[in-house]
Amino acid sequence: MNKVLNNLVEQLTRMPGIGRKTAQRISFFILKSKKDDIEQIAKAITEAKQKLRFCHICFNYTENEICDVCQNETRNHSEICVVEDASDILSIERSGKYKGMYHVLGGVLSPIDNVGPENLKIKELIQRVQKQKFSEIIIATNPTREGEATGHYLVKILKPYHVKISRIARGLPIGSDLDLADEMTISEAFEGRKEFE
């Protein structure tokens, strides 16, 4: 493989879920495509990187200071769903089941990767809980070892606020990611959520 093509493949493999074979397929798609089409893709990537930022309230991606969800008066502002990443919000929204607020942690606790509470948006979550008096906090971290540990840590630090804390149900297989689940699975996970004990 020539140097330019190899570099393209290498750069594409840096993206999550893109292995070498997929990167090669994408590379050949790019090479076969019209120049205008590829320029539109490159422009969309650049524009997203330049214009999108974190919502000042929930840390979802937005073009404005406050995202559409946080601005929406028709949503249930007494419930807050805590997720790992903004991509989880898209998955939950697709299910159409949840109509409350969100809080994006920006990852999970992971001692192996040197990610502690100070590296996540946990302090900001506590500030929101202190300020807003939610009736329920729904923990929707992924069913991985790190996601579970993060959920238990959140329960421990949120217990003093005397708010109902629940966990989405186990319609999701252990080790899976919320953003890969279908709408029905997410919908059932919200319907079957249980109070954290």
Copy the structure tokens of residue 13.
């493999």
pLDDT of residue 184 exceeding 70: no
Digit-coded pLDDT (tens) for 87-110 = 999 989 988 889 999 999 999 999
pLDDT of residue 36 exceeding 80: yes
In words, the CATH class of domain 70-195 is: alpha beta
33-42 mean pLDDT: 95
44-68 mean pLDDT: 97
163-172 mean pLDDT: 80
Copy the structure tokens of residue 164.
């109902």
The three-point CA angle 155-156-159 to 5° equals 75
How sure is the predictor about 195, in pLDDT bands with cuts at 50, 70 and 90? Answer: confident
How sure is the predictor about 49, in pLDDT bands with cuts at 50, 70 and 90? Answer: very high
Dist. CA 66–CA 60, nearest whole Å? 9
pLDDT at residue 95, as a whole number: 85
pLDDT of residue 192 exceeding 90: no
How sure is the predictor about 171, in pLDDT bands with cuts at 50, 70 and 90? Answer: low
pLDDT at residue 141, as a whole number: 93
pLDDT at residue 193, as a whole number: 72
Could you tell me the residue ranges of all domains in the chain? 3-51, 70-195
Dist. CA 158–CA 189, nearest whole Å? 22
SS3 at position 142: coil
CATH domain 3-51 topology: Helicase, Ruva Protein; domain 3 (1.10.8)
Dist. CA 47–CA 104, nearest whole Å? 22
Digit-coded pLDDT (tens) for 125-135 = 999 999 998 99
pLDDT at residue 47, as a whole number: 96
pLDDT at residue 177, as a whole number: 66
Average predicted confidence (pLDDT) for the chain: 90
